Amino acid sequence: MGTVGKVDRQYRPHEVEERILKFWREKGIYDKLRSMLKDKPKFYFLDGPPYPSSDVPHIGTAWNKIIKDLVIRFQRMRERFVWDQPGYDTHGLPIEVAVEKKLGLRSKKEIVAKVGVERFVKECMSLALKNANLMSKRFERLGVSMNWSNPYYTLKPEYIESAWWLIKKVHEEGFLKKGIKVVWWCPRCETVLADYEVQEYRDVEDPSIFVKFPLEEEENKYLLIWTTTPWTLPANLAVMVHPEMEYVEVEYNGEKLILAEVRLEHVFSKLKAKPKVIARFKGKDLEGLRYVPPLLEEVDVQRICRNDKTHRIVLSEFVTPYEGTGLVHSAPGHGEEDYIVAQRYGIPVVCLVDERGIMTKDAGKYAGKHFREANKYVIEDLKGKNLLLYEEKVVHKYPVCWRCKTPLVLRATEQWYITVTKLKNEMLEEAMKVEWIPEWAKEREVNWLKELRDWVISRQRYWGIPLPIWECRKCGYTFIPESVDDLRKYAINEVNLKDLHKPWIDEVVLKCPKCGGEMWRVPDVLDVWFDSGIAFFASLAYPKNREFFEKMFPVDFIVEGHDQLRGWFFSLLRSGILGFGKAPYKRVLVHGYMLDEKGREMHKSLGNFVSADEVVEKYGADTLRFWVLQNTTWEDVRFGWRKLDLTFRDINILWNVFVFASTYMNLDKFDPTKWTLDKVEKHLRIEDKWILSKLNNLVKSVTESFEKTLVHEGVRRIREFIIEDLSHWYIRLVRRRVWIEAEDPDKLAAYSTLYMVLKTLLQLLAPVTPFITEELYQKFVKPAEPTAPESVHMLKWPKAREELVNPELEEAMNIAKKIVEVGAAARMKAGVKIRQPLPELVVLSDNRELHKLLGQVVEIVKSQINVKNVKIAELREIPNYIEYEIVPNYSKIGPLFKEKTKDIIKKLGERANEASKELLEKGKYEMEIEGKKYVITLGHVEIKEKPGKHYVIQDFDGGKIVLDTRIDYEAAAEGLARDIVRRIQYMRKELDLPVEAFIEAIIVSPDKQSAEMLMKWKNFITEEVRASKLEITLEKKEASKGYVKEWNIGGDKYLIAIIY
């Protein structure tokens, strides 16, 4: 036996959330949950690991974690063993750049020169772990219920060994290669960036030049090329043309120039010239044509490389007709497409930019200059040799390093890579098996896979998983261990590693099993996307923990931002195919970006960054959660404080519903285990049956939405139910029923219904707003059900009771709401307050279904519009509620009736209603004046309709309503009594009186008539305001005690005193 508990009258989110966090920790709620569910069907959730380069999560990161937490909590309530391990991507440039900034380092070179690799790596490790720990606390404060005592870190030895295992596997299967690759390179970070890391572009001003390449042994005849990177001309080794494009030879200023015909007008419009075309030919006809490189004298490597394969026209499908001249200068060491074509023709690869972005000694007179600085010197030399046709400046998008924002450079370097292009078909097939939400995410992923390139996995940095490749310095043999135990087998000296990172791992020297020579590790670290890409097995310590991995694999669900389609989702897929021959995940949900109010991305540099801490400090975590989860998951969201204000108001509405229910249920010592819904079933009113139908439909729809991971749809439905169905309607309908003093069946039916609704609502909301639901569960439910589970989050997900679903009743109530809304508008139009009873509302409609449905809820309509009667009729009865005005057409009546016109108009006015009805029905109206008959037709007059006296008419989409606004003495008395009740209730609120407290009240009426009216409703007033004594008097002196206030009601002054 128990009694519903009492909820605090005011919602204080910070007090509630701190208290609940403490409760969860002290009681070990989530550890107990994991233990309870350990033998249930598995649900493998994989956390996309954020970079802990900062300890303050972006509001978008909070949104990400909140979506994940909703799914985790929901799956637990569905009785699934949820793997809820959080993770952190602890390696890579984000951490290195943060440490460089902390230590005041400006370049990669200074790491070695000023602090040393060992200290630098230790600083990286310390920063990553410190920030990860602080981020975990912040995520926990958001109510994210992951296993914060057991996160996976990509820096841990067991994680690193898992990475080594995959590298060894791809090596054994022949996919691991070492060779030249043209890659985007950051000269500040001095490392390669993968193509999917090149996502940030800045507007950069560059030269745009048209250069003449002299044809060999042809005087004054040139190939015309265009470039915005003059610094690449010293590395030029070929010119590319499209085999099927039309090219022309034109004459201009005594010179002959070759370019694509489709680009002719564009190029020469800049020169305001129209050159003469003297020949046409296909691109393939130009193949093999030799030219003299424009910087032959300035760059030694041009002379060294000049042979029968270089400085020729080659064919390329990469040439397009949309920019430049249709002839593309090729520097195979500085362009990926250039490199591909060069390989076909046996053209050497020359890279003239070093790892710091400086032109090498092979660049001749440009050596020692930064590659961008070299532009102006190249242009000067071209001018001096009369090889520059035209020069201008262009502002265009240019890629920059995603961490340090330095402009990147394409350069050919030797790298380790995995030939995933050989597995392209398998990757496409597996991607198609995955469930992508929304559907367009699949299309984007597939399109990205169609452009698949080999995976360059080596990075020239210090903080990362060391590339586990040992090479023999004697015979070149390559050895790859899959674990530290493997190293020990071949180690020359004892392997006693402090850590598996650089520089300690570089001290391990192995004995070559092939020749006995020394094997040393290559200096590179792994691509950080390799780290996160293996998370699905490395976080579970596979292959060491093989049994657990095989029980959990594959991942059931992942969610990240849409940028991860070409990032983490892609990396996971590659690793899944390489390691296990299949996609490692079953379902992918994509979410949008969090933008500022103007639609811009949030950055500290723009001053528009909002942290999760700021929002929590102002509103609490549940408000943030409730807001973000209602936004369409895969669309970008504009942050706004006003939006959070409105959401906080919604949560307060929820709280106030519980305050209302708990106040009266606790006062009446209501025991829901005694008065179950089944026990009060025969006493359920129409509104009880309606809200139960709505509730069970809500359970069905939210369950479906959450199972499909359409979280925003489910949360929006919950919000609509709380605000529109529960607070604005059901509570409004049952409020008077809970005021009954006795243990009345009608009141108990309302209590049982409301208790079921609220408890079920807590279950539905538990994954959404975990703090407030726990607080309300502990305060409202647990006192009534002492044997209930310890936490709301230990409850099972509710099941819909189909027998309580009544679609017809729901439709009937929708009609009732509509009629009440239109009736309220009619009252406003008439200037009559809702507290004033009126005699009748007439609903006019020709919809027979509406008549039937409205008949079920007519009592609700009566009570909510405050009318004594509701009549339902057909539209043909509208004439009974309108009056007609006849406006004569003098231009027609005057000439026809002459001197009798005045009399006819007078009589029409006197008989307006009668005449109008007959005119509308028959088209004519006959009248007699002084014994003579006159016939009036519709052509003689205009008939205007208006509501009859005392009536207000309003349209709605099913017909019309007519409100009779006449107020008789009885109705006036009732209205006055309701006005008095409202004032006394307001005074009680001002005094902050408990709802159960009784008062004594004195009402000083302005006259005898109003006093008599109030006396007729004395019992009603007494019950409504919980008065143990009520006095109605004309004497002001009687109202001298207690809290006294004067009120103006209908122009008269009433004095009310409350004694408490």
What's the token pair of residue 1029? 């004594």
Mean pLDDT of 663-685: 94
> pLDDT (tens digit, 9 = 90+) per residue, 330-342?
999 999 999 999 9
CA 60 vs CA 46, 636, 814, 827: distances in Å: 18, 10, 38, 47
Residues 910 and 1033 in one domain: no
Domain membership of residue 474 (yes or no) is no
Portion of the chain with pLDDT greater than 70, in percent? 100
How many domains would you assign to the chain?
4
Q: Indicate whether 679 pLDDT > 80.
A: yes
Whether residue 306 sits in one domain with residue 273: yes
CATH number of 719's domain = 1.10.730.10
DSSP state of 407: B
At 279, list the tokens.
């020949």
| pLDDT for the residue 605 | 74
Q: Which pLDDT belongs to residue 624?
A: 98
User: Looking at residue 1040, what is its pLDDT?
Assistant: 83
| Nearest CA-CA partner of 39 in 82, 94, 81 | 81
The SS3 call for residue 59 is helix
CB 84 within 8 A of CB 69: no
Residue 419 has pLDDT above 80, yes or no: yes
Q: Which two tokens stand for residue 817?
A: 């709401």
Beta bridge partners of 1001: 1030, 1058
Instruction: Outline where DSSP puts E strands in 522-648.
Output: 525-526, 558-561, 587-591, 594-595, 637-638
Largest CA distance in the chain: 140
- Alpha-helix residue ranges (DSSP H) falling in 874-1007: 890-897, 901-910, 912-922, 969-990
Looking at 902, 934, 966, the residue that finishes a domain is: 966
- Cα gap 747→709, rounded to integer Å: 39
- Residue 725 DSSP label: I
Side-chain-side CA neighbours of 140 within 13 Å: the count stands at 18
283 lies in the same domain as 378: yes
pLDDT in tens, 774-829: 999 999 999 999 999 999 999 999 999 999 999 999 999 999 999 999 999 999 99
The DSSP 8-state label assigned to residue 676 in this structure reads -
The range of the structural domain enclosing residue 923 comes to 822-966
What's the pLDDT at 331? 97
In angstroms, the CA 781 to CA 171 distance is 60
789 shares its domain with 853: no
The pair of three-digit structure tokens given for residue 297, joined into one six-digit string: 């004298």
pLDDT of the residue at 326 = 96
What is the distance, to the nearest Å, from the Cα of residue 574 to the centroid of all Cα atoms in its chain? 27
In a domain, 345, yes or no: yes
Q: Which of the four pLDDT bands, split at 50, 70 and 90, describes residue 899?
A: confident
- DSSP-derived secondary structure for 179-204: EEEEEEEETTTTEEE-GGG---EEEE
Local structure of 934: helix, strand or coil: strand
What angle in degrees, to the nearest 10, is found between the helix axes of 59-77 and 711-720? 80
The residues that bridge with 843 in the sheet, in sequence order, are 872, 961
For residues 1048-1058, give the mean pLDDT: 90
pTM: 0.87
- DSSP per residue, 732-746: HHHGGGGG--S--HH
Q: Does pLDDT of 917 surpass 90?
A: no
Instruction: Provide the b/e sequence for 235-263 (b: ≥16 CB within 10 Å).
Output: bbbbbbbbeebebbbbebeebbbbbbbbb
Asked if pLDDT for residue 604 goes beyond 90, the answer is no
Residues 233 and 362 in one domain: yes
Per-residue model confidence (pLDDT) at position 106: 87
Q: Give first-to-last CA distance, the chain, whole Å.
A: 33
Shared domain for 832 and 939, answered yes or no, is yes
443 lies in a domain?
A: no
Are residues 677 and 643 part of one domain? yes
Q: With beta carbons less than 8 A apart as the criterion, state whether 445 and 565 touch.
A: yes
Give 460-487 pLDDT, tens digit per residue: 999 999 999 999 999 999 999 999 999 9
Quickly state the pLDDT bin for 883 (edges 50, 70, 90): confident
Q: Are 339 and 333 in contact (CB under 8 A)?
A: yes
944 belongs to a structural domain: yes
The pLDDT-based confidence of 370 (bands split at 50, 70, 90) is very high
As given in the structure block, the two tokens for residue 466 are 């060391």
Q: What is residue 31's predicted lDDT score, i.e. its pLDDT?
A: 97
Residue 264's contacts (CB-CB under 8 Å, 6 or more residues apart) are 248, 250, 275, 277
Beta strand 255-260 pairing with 191-193: unpaired
C-alpha 506/C-alpha 466 separation (Å) is 9
The CA angle 383-389-392, to the nearest 5 degrees, is 85
Bridge partners (DSSP) listed for residue 58 = 611
Q: Are 503 and 521 in contact (CB under 8 A)?
A: no
Question: Could you report the per-residue pLDDT of 15-44, keeping only the tens digit for each?
Answer: 999 999 999 999 999 999 999 999 999 999
- Give 952's strand partners: 963
Query: Same structural domain for residues 780 and 919?
Result: no
Query: What letters, b where the CB count within 10 A reaches 16 and e where it falls short, cover 557-590?
Result: bbbbbbebbbbbbbbbbbbbbbbbeebbbebbbb
pLDDT at 196 over 80: no
Residue 901 within any structural domain of the chain? yes
pLDDT of residue 995: 82
In a domain, 702, yes or no: yes
Number of other residues whose CB lies within 10 A of the CB of residue 220? 13
What are the tokens at 560? 């990240």
Closest CA to 154 of 94, 205, 231, 102: 94
Is residue 918 in some structural domain? yes
Order across the sheet with 838-844: list the strands: 867-873, 838-844, 959-964, 951-956
Query: At a CB cut-off of 8 Å and minimum separation 6, what does 664 contact?
Result: 670, 738, 739, 751, 995
Q: Given 948, 966, 984, which residue is the final one in a domain?
A: 966
Find the CATH number of the domain harbouring 252: 3.90.740.10
**Co-location of 1042 and 897 in the same domain:** no
Q: Are residues 321 and 219 in the same domain?
A: yes
CB 166 within 8 A of CB 534: yes
210, 244 in Cβ contact below 8 A? Answer: no
Instruction: Count CB-CB contacts under 10 A for residue 115.
Output: 18
Q: Decide if 867 contacts 974 (C-beta within 8 A).
A: no
Question: What does the alpha-carbon distance between residue 624 and residue 608 come to, in Å, rounded to a whole number?
Answer: 18
Which amino acid, residue 749? Answer: A
Omega before 438 within 30 of 0, i.e. cis: yes
Q: Pick the closest to residue 532 from 476, 464, 462, 478 (CA basis).
A: 464
Bigger pLDDT: 704 or 930?
704
Rounded to whole angstroms, the Cα distance separating 761 from 730 reads: 14
Query: Is the previous residue joined to 321 through a cis bond, with omega within 30 degrees of 0?
Result: no
Side-chain-side CA neighbours of 174 within 13 Å: the count stands at: 2
Same-domain pairing of 656 and 708: yes
Rounded-to-integer distance, Cα 796 and Cα 76, Å: 8
User: Residue 741: pLDDT above 80?
Assistant: no
Specify whether the CB–CB gap between 795 and 766 falls below 8 A: yes
Q: Are strands 176-186 and 191-193 parallel, antiparallel or unpaired?
A: antiparallel
- Name the residue among 371, 357, 453, 487 with its Cα closest to residue 413: 357
Hey, what are 728's tokens? 């604005």
pLDDT higher than 80, residue 1: no
pLDDT at 739: 78
Residue 440 in any domain: the answer is: no
Res 1001 pLDDT > 90: yes
What pLDDT is stored for residue 930 in this prediction? 83
Owner of token pair 């802990």: 52
- Whether 55 and 365 have beta carbons less than 8 Å apart is answered as no
Model pLDDT for residues 425-457, shown as the tens digit of each residue: 999 999 999 999 999 999 999 999 999 999 999
Higher pLDDT residue, 897 or 721? 721
DSSP 838: E
Of the pLDDT bands very low, low, confident and very high (cuts 50, 70, 90), residue 743 is confident
> Tokens in use for 537?
């097995």
Cβ within 8 Å of residue 910, ≥6 positions away: none
Residues 653 and 733 both lie in one domain:
yes
Residues 6+ apart with CB under 8 A from 939: 889, 892
Amino acid at 54: S
Look at residues 345, 377, 399 and tell me which one is the last residue of a structural domain. 399
Torsion angle defined by CA atoms of residues 511, 515, 521 and 523, in that order, rounded to the nearest 10 degrees: 150
Mean per-residue pLDDT over the chain, rounded: 94
pLDDT higher than threshold 80 for residue 583: yes
Residue 403 has pLDDT above 80, yes or no: no
The candidate with the shortest Cα–Cα distance to 801, out of 768, 756, 762, 765, is 756
